[in-house]
Amino acid sequence: MPASRALTCLPIVLAVGLCGCQSGRRHPGMSEPPIAVALRPLLELQPQANWTSVFNALLPHGAAAMDYLAGRPVMQRPAAPDDLRVMVHTSLMRLLAVAPDAPHLSVNCFETTLDVLHFDPKVSGRPLGTVFMPQPRPPAAWHELYPADFDHRLAARIDLESDRLAMLRWWNDHRAAPVGALRTLPLRPQPQYLWTVLSRRYADRWVYEPTGSTMLCSTGPRLPTLIDEPCYDYNLVRAVCLWLATCRLPEVQDRLIETVAAPSPIVAYNARFALRNSPDHRIREVIERLDPLRRRPPAGDRIRTVGSPYNPGGSRDKGD
């Protein structure tokens, strides 16, 4: 069942009391609960979904979502210290929780920069390193997301079992009276602030290059690029591109089409990436004809970075 169709069914299903929604489990042969279908893009870190819209559609059904997340098998057994699924579940529950007494987790993997939902695990507001997902399916262990720079000191502070227990206790205390405890205000990205994000990095490629301070193990000649590979992590640029692509404002769609001819190869590339995900099949067909092979990014306009793929020159935009 498509996620959009499942979301439209939620009010009806929840009104009659969906069996199994609280426990997150179902008997063999039963259809999957609509709340599970609605949550799937976020739980599976699906790279082509519009996470911001998916999250906003969940807000009227926050209690059902919390019940489902809390009852999932991965949340009902002790957490392995490297289990990415536990991190995703606890972070999503924490994102839905807004009460003053909501627990402080050791790690959060969802960020809402510029009111756009994206994936960027942080400990005390600090990123662990550069996330790289070479496959659409996320790895089982969260540390496998970091093939390059990685902050071991921050990583040592992650305690997924404590996070799991804290979120379960908090929801158990608030479940009977969830009004005021869960988020109701949707994310509202403002298009005028999003366009500059397109210049930060390539939305679906990871380009990793050495800087003057980078120490290489090889004693041979230095190569201009260490890594230039497709990626499927839901970085901020990908999130912005997918939100712009599905925005219904005509002025946004017009500017996105115009941006295909931007002088910056990075910006033009990201505009094409966004339009390839447009809900308008005519736009998708035109972009595919213009760029059928989805060529590699131009070598002369790569972002050089060691810390984060979207802070060129080592700087970080305020609020990122």
Q: How confident is the model at residue 286 (pLDDT cuts 50, 70, 90)?
A: confident
pLDDT digits (tens, 9 = 90+) for 289-320: 776 545 444 444 433 333 333 333 333 333 33
Q: Identify which of 97, 282, 243 has the alpha carbon closest to the alpha carbon of residue 178.
A: 97
Domain end residue (candidates: 174, 209, 231): 174
- 130: containing domain: 3-174
pLDDT of amino acid 139: 97
Burial call 53-91: b when 16+ CB within 10 Å, e when fewer: bbbbbbeebbbbbbbbbbbbebbeeebeebbbbbbbbbb
pLDDT of amino acid 288: 80
Q: Is residue 307 part of a domain?
A: yes
Domain end residue (candidates: 174, 204, 223): 174
Residues 38 and 92 in one domain: yes
Residues 31 and 101 in one domain: yes
Q: Is residue 319 part of a domain?
A: no
pLDDT digits (tens, 9 = 90+) for 59-115: 999 999 999 999 999 999 999 999 999 999 999 999 999 999 999 999 999 999 999
Residues 165 and 266 in one domain: no
pLDDT digits (tens, 9 = 90+) for 219-233: 444 555 567 899 999
Paired residues of 97 in beta bridges: 182
Residues 77 and 211 in one domain: no
- Write out the DSSP string of 128-174: -B----SSSSPPSBGGGG-SS-B-HHHHTT--HHHHHHHHHHHHHHH
Residues 166 and 257 in one domain: no
In the chain, how many domains are there?
2
Distant-in-sequence, close-in-space partners of 35: CB < 8 Å, separation ≥ 6: 6, 10, 14, 18, 21, 61, 64, 65, 68
Q: What average pLDDT is seen over the chain?
A: 83
Domain end residue (candidates: 174, 202, 233): 174
Q: Identify which of 183, 133, 126, 129 has the alpha carbon closest to the alpha carbon of residue 151.
A: 129
Calculate mean pLDDT across residues 146-173.
96
Q: How confident is the model at residue 7 (pLDDT cuts 50, 70, 90)?
A: very low
Calculate mean pLDDT across residues 7-15.
41
Residues 237 and 103 in one domain: no
Calculate mean pLDDT across residues 261-283.
92
> What is the four-CA torsion angle of 299, 300, 304, 310, rounded to 10 degrees?
-80
